[in-house]
Structure 1
Amino acid sequence: MVTLQEKYPVWHAVAWIAIYVITVNVGDLLSEMAGEPNSVTSALLVLLSLWLVVDLRRRGWLGYYGVRPLRREDFQSMLLYLPLLLIVSLQFTKGFKEDLTFTAVLLIIVLMVCVGFLEELIFRGMLLRGIQRTSTLTRAIVISGVTFGIGHVVNLARGMTPLEQAIQVGFGVVLGIVLALLFVVTGTIVPLIVFHALLNISGNITLGDPTADLIMLAATTVVCVGYALYLMAVLRRKGPAEAIAQPAPTMPATVAVV
């Protein structure tokens, strides 16, 4: 994997997408066999997250992928994240499920924190940065966002109708581009991890109504389109964050914005 990471960064990201999907599916199967939803999946993703943090930090890649302590200047950009706060807040207006046990809620929180971390690290960190090293920053933003959205097609196997799936994929593409733009503008994925975790947690502990969920998803997609256009204007005006222009730890990298 080290050679793949250094010489073929895009394939390195694809390999980690495959590892992540396989781990989740195996975990879900074992959780079902254990009789406690999310139990084994949570444990496996915690181990995978810890291993990645230790390994990438040891080899100097963690900061390159946007996982670093927040700095004072990061808080000057907090206004950029207000639409994300709005998106999460809308989810909580649906009310909470009353049949969830303490254990179920705890497992959901642990699982979704790991999902938020791993998906941001893989799609915004590894994939975007990998494409950036071999192409342009613009292509990196678009391709990583589109790949993130299309990846949600796996939910067809979880009982979604084609219409529900189409809306979720569309939302995932737009949201993926928004999060990619935020990473490029700010140079960190830490706030994105927090948002991603909160969004997934809210979707699992709040009441669900198919019609209301579709309306909210469609409305949120519209918000994200406007948000993406605004972030594109910010990127054109200010350019990418200084961290995004830094080379990979073991080889030089060229950044091109078109």
Structure 2
Amino acid sequence: MKKLRAASPIWHAVVWILAYVLIVNVGDWISAIIGVPNSATAPLVLLLSIVLFLYVTRNGWARYYGLIALRRDQFQRTLLYIPLVVLALLQFTLGLRADLDVRAVLLTVLLMLGVGFAEELVFRGFLFRGILSESTLPRAIIISGLTFGVGHLVNLARGYSGAEQIVQIAVAIVLGVVLAMLFAVSGTIVPLIAFHALFNISGDLSAANSDREGLILAATIVISAGYAAYLAVVLRKHGAHPMSA
């Protein structure tokens, strides 16, 4: 993998993305056999996250891929990540699902912690950095965001309807662009991992409510668009962004 990264950073990212998709599908298949949702997917994704962490840290790439603490000046430029906190908590206004038990909640939390780490590292870290090494910042932001959204097609195999899938892809693209911009502004993916996990957890544990879900979707798009516009101003204002370091 190190040789592939040196030869083609983009293909290096693609291989890791495919590995992640494969592991999720294998985990879901085993979980279905066991009869307990996420029972195999959660530990497999967590294991992949550990492998990814060791792969990056042992090769000295942690800073390059954003596994670093957030500096105070960069924290202020992100508006304290308040828009992300609002987006993550919005879904909880729907209330919790009635069918939840301790095991289901625990497996969901563990799975989404792994998903948050793995997806942020491979999409915002590997893919975004790979594209940026061969192209411009705007292209890296847009392409990585689009790829992140389209990558959610894998959820068709998880029982999502066509309409649900379209909505999820659209939201994922918008959020993917915003998260890529945040990485460009701050140079760290650590807060993005936390948001990603919390956003997925709130989505999986919240109750279904078709009327209010439409309002939340609209609010998510509006907040994300406004946040993206602000981050674009920050990037233009400061010229040399952290990604050039």
* TM-score, structure 1 as length reference: 0.89
Q: Which residue of 2 aligns with 1:177?
A: 177
Q: Which residue of 2 aligns with 1:251?
A: none
Q: Which residue of 1 aligns with 2:56?
A: 56
* 1:245 pairs with 2:222: no
Post-superposition Cα deviations, 1:73-95, rounded to whole Å, max 9, x if no partner, equal 45434524111111112111111
Q: Which structure is higher in helix share?
A: 2
* 1:235 pairs with 2:242: no
Q: Structure 1 residues 157 and 27, CA, compared in 2 at 3 Å: closer, same or farther?
A: closer
Do 1:94 and 1:206's aligned partners in 2 also have CA atoms closer than 8 Å? yes
Do 1:155 and 1:165's aligned partners in 2 also have CA atoms closer than 8 Å? yes
Tell me the CA shift for residue 106 of structure 1.
0.9
- Percent identity of the aligned residues? 53
Tell me the CA shift for residue 210 of structure 1.
3.3
Do 1:185 and 1:239's aligned partners in 2 also have CA atoms closer than 8 Å? no
Tell me the CA shift for residue 17 of structure 1.
0.7
Q: Residue type matched to 2:47 in 1?
A: L
Q: Give secondary structure in 2 for the equivalent of 1:100.
A: coil
Q: Give secondary structure in 1 for the equivalent of 2:45.
A: helix
Unaligned 5+ residue runs, structure 2?
none
Do 2:49 and 2:114's aligned partners in 1 also have CA atoms closer than 8 Å? yes
Do 2:145 and 2:175's aligned partners in 1 also have CA atoms closer than 8 Å? yes
1:125-204 aligned within 5 A: 125-204=125-204
Post-superposition Cα deviations, 1:36-77, rounded to whole Å, max 9, x if no partner, equal 211111111111111111121111112211012344445434
Q: Which residue of 2 aligns with 1:253?
A: none
Q: Which residue of 1 aligns with 2:25?
A: 25
Do 2:116 and 2:193's aligned partners in 1 also have CA atoms closer than 8 Å? yes
Matches of 1:156 and 1:218, distance apart in 2: 23
Tell me the CA shift for residue 130 of structure 1.
0.3
Tell me the CA shift for residue 225 of structure 1.
1.4
Q: Residue type matched to 2:203 in 1?
A: G
Q: Give secondary structure in 1 for the equivalent of 2:40.
A: helix
Tell me the CA shift for residue 154 of structure 1.
2.6
Matches of 1:112 and 1:181, distance apart in 2: 22
Do 1:164 and 1:214's aligned partners in 2 also have CA atoms closer than 8 Å? no
Tell me the CA shift for residue 182 of structure 1.
0.3
